[in-house]
Amino acid sequence: MRSSVTSTSQTPPTTLLHRTTLLAPILACGGLVLLVVAQSQLQNQLLSLVAIGALVLGLGAWLIALRVAPPAPDALDDLVAQQHRIRWTLLGPAGALIMVTWIGSGSGVYTLFGVCAWLAATLVWCLAWWPSGTPKDEARSSRLPLAFWLIPIAILALGAFFRFYRLAEVPADPTSDHAEKLLDIYDLVSGQRPLFFPRNTGREPGQFYITYGLMRLFGLPLSFETLKLGTALIGLLAIPAVFLFGRELAGTTVGLIAATGFAISKWVVNTARMGLRFPYGPLPTAVVLWLLFRYLRRGDRRDAIWCGLAIGLGLHGYISFRIVPLLVPLLLAWALLIDRRWRGHWRRLLADSALITATAIVTCLPLIHYTVQHPDQVWYRVATRAASTEQEIGSFQHSLGTFLLNNRAALLAFNWRGDETVVNAVHRDPFLDLVTGGALLAGLLIVGYQVARRSPRYSALAIATPVLLLPSTLSLAFPAENPSANRLGTVAPVIFVIVALPLAYAARQLWTITSDGGSRPQLALRRTAAAALLLGAFSLSTQHNYTRYFHDYDLQYRSSVQNTHEIVQHIQRMQELGVTLDHVYMLAYPHWLDGRSLALMLGDPAWQPGHDLPSEIGLPTRADGQQMLFVLHPDDSTRKQQLEASYPDGTYSLIQAKTPGKNFAMYLVPGR
């Protein structure tokens, strides 16, 4: 009698458990499909009944799934026990080296003595505060099998493909911004070593010195292609940084999925291949977030020191990263309020917060000295975006309204309408593809669920997101520049970690679809289903991103930017026929060819000043009797008439360009 009662009482819970574990993966996968369907409408700015219905049903399915099978809580370890003994024997020399570095950087240039003092000061400073002992990271101490590393290698290879495939062709031609960058690097080639590059509203030195180092190391020329190669390499390095950040927050699966989405994203790929400083924002941001969230979990001072180093180095890269140092104390203060583990160690948290700040200052000390000496140069671009002479910040109500509208536009950029420009991304195309755009919506629900659980680090993630939007949303004087694909690059690591959360959740639910271990066929079926989900999702995502960038963006960019490469090729053919570069002239025309880009691509930056002739300057004389070649816009009838009058024996040729609407003309004057 007892056995029959026992049998009857155990059956219903088991059946219910099986139903529950079946319900969660069905809802998660079905919800993802519905959100992808909705995103297929949203990406075309269509809020149709299909989109609304799919959104409501998809988000509803995810809310039920999270209720049925809640995601794992944020894993927080006990704070590591450390002896925070200061090595005074090193701190004194570190202070002396810091003073020497400050004095040595007063000239505004890098010198051998100043750089050596700076590096020594940074090293000795870190050693002075470095804690003794090596505490084990118990939560991350398990060794991964060798076969596992094939997955991140494959992700890195996929990211390399997206960053280096047809790099010489896409994007096709340089813009005026590229000319400015190449001239900055030309200054380094000429022997200058500035701490800051004031050309074109001011630029941090990181990209220029790294590109110059690549040129010296591999014998690369000063060219548009070298610029793109340097930024593509930085973009590739950001992939493992995103993996580390995602793994730190929510485990290896989330890290791998976040890295994959980041590797193939049209948004990130575009900024990485552009040849400008754009990828110098996501890389240090991902590293800082990884180290900061790691510190919040463990409390290891080593992470605080590394975080300060990452901040200091990141400040040498891209202007949008300047918001990250402000984010660090905000998240540490939030941890003190919400994380119970830190309440008994508030002095330690404040001390390490100060240490992060001090280490960052030491790491970028020469740049800080230059900022103190020339604040107008360093902050000029920020000031001109935040306010204009016509409308200062004093108009608080107007500025606040613009700021709120900018935030709305920035938040919609990922799923609805992206960048307004035509050179940084496909015009008004959402930053995310069909899959990652739909997954972002579900990921926000997971973040909200964890925040409702009072998870310290997920709360920090929610706080970090609007803060990292500020480089774009603070464009109050030029709201049309928001949302900016390049300035929002700092938030990309956070976005793709959020994107990874629902994909990892759905895969785990498929993986554990039964309550017991299951038979070998059941285990294989579960793993196949989980792998099929991720492979199917990223196959669709890869196809979408590839088409959007290598086809749609390529065509848009070619039609928007002058075909400098093609013009250079024709000039070089004429050089082979005997025309010397000193006798080649460009006749300027409004909104046409940049003479600096032409000079750089011809291999002689000094050519432009005397051979790029504006309309108010007359034509040169043929004093030495050599052949002369003039490049002019096909609509410049005034210059054509001047050429025909001055050189009646010349030949006018209209060149049909490969890209429609990009024709150009040449006028060849024969030699005497």
- Tell me how many helices (H) and strands (E) the chain has: 29, 5
Quick one: DSSP state of residue 658? Answer: S
Confidence at residue 16, expressed as pLDDT on a 0 to 100 scale: 44
Q: Hey, which residues does 109 pair with through a beta bridge? A: 194
Residue 138 has pLDDT above 60, yes or no: no
Confidence at residue 672, expressed as pLDDT on a 0 to 100 scale: 76
Contact in structure between 238 and 496 (CB atoms under 8 Å) = no
Confidence at residue 9, expressed as pLDDT on a 0 to 100 scale: 35
Helix axes 346-363, 112-129, angle to 10 degrees: 170
Contact in structure between 585 and 647 (CB atoms under 8 Å) = no
Give the count of alpha carbons within 13 A of 242, CB side only: 38
Q: Which two tokens stand for residue 99?
A: 């003073």
Contact in structure between 664 and 636 (CB atoms under 8 Å) = no
- Classify residue 312 by burial, with Cβ atoms within 10 Å: 0-12, 13-18, 19+: buried
- Looking at the chain, the whole-number percentage of residues with pLDDT higher than 90 is 82
Q: What is the pLDDT of residues 330-380, one digit of tens each?
A: 999 999 999 999 988 899 999 999 999 999 999 999 999 999 999 999 998
Q: How far apart are CA 364 and CA 370, in angstroms?
A: 10
Q: What contacts 550, CB < 8 A, 6 or more positions away? A: 165, 166, 170
Average pLDDT over residues 289-307: 96
Q: How far apart are CA 437 and CA 38, in angstroms?
A: 9
Mean pLDDT check: name the lowest of 86-90, 223-227, 433-437, 621-625. Answer: 621-625
* pLDDT class of 135 with cuts at 50, 70, 90: low
Confidence at residue 518, expressed as pLDDT on a 0 to 100 scale: 55
* pLDDT class of 144 with cuts at 50, 70, 90: low
DSSP string, 504-563: HHHHHHHHT-SSS---HHHHHHHHHHHHHHHHHHHHHHHHHHHHIIIIIIHHHHHHHS--
Confidence at residue 141, expressed as pLDDT on a 0 to 100 scale: 45
Residue 596 has pLDDT above 50, yes or no: yes
- Classify residue 153 by burial, with Cβ atoms within 10 Å: 0-12, 13-18, 19+: exposed
Average pLDDT over residues 517-521: 61
Residue 2 has pLDDT above 70, yes or no: no
The phi and psi torsions of 358 (rounded to 5 degrees) equal -65, -40
Q: Which two tokens stand for residue 161?
A: 């493909």
Distances (CA, A) of 103 to 91, 92, 120: 19, 17, 15
Q: Hey, which residues does 651 pair with through a beta bridge? A: 668
Q: How far apart are CA 410 and CA 419, in angstroms?
A: 9
Confidence at residue 15, expressed as pLDDT on a 0 to 100 scale: 45
**pTM of the predicted model as reported, rounded to 2 decimal places:** 0.93
Return the amino acid letter for 140: R
Mean residue pLDDT of the chain comes to 91
Confidence at residue 301, expressed as pLDDT on a 0 to 100 scale: 94
Q: How far apart are CA 444 and CA 544, in angstroms?
A: 22
Distances (CA, A) of 126 to 289, 345, 503: 20, 22, 39
Three-class secondary structure of residue 411 per DSSP = helix
Q: What contacts 420, CB < 8 A, 6 or more positions away? A: 427, 428, 480, 481
Confidence at residue 12, expressed as pLDDT on a 0 to 100 scale: 41
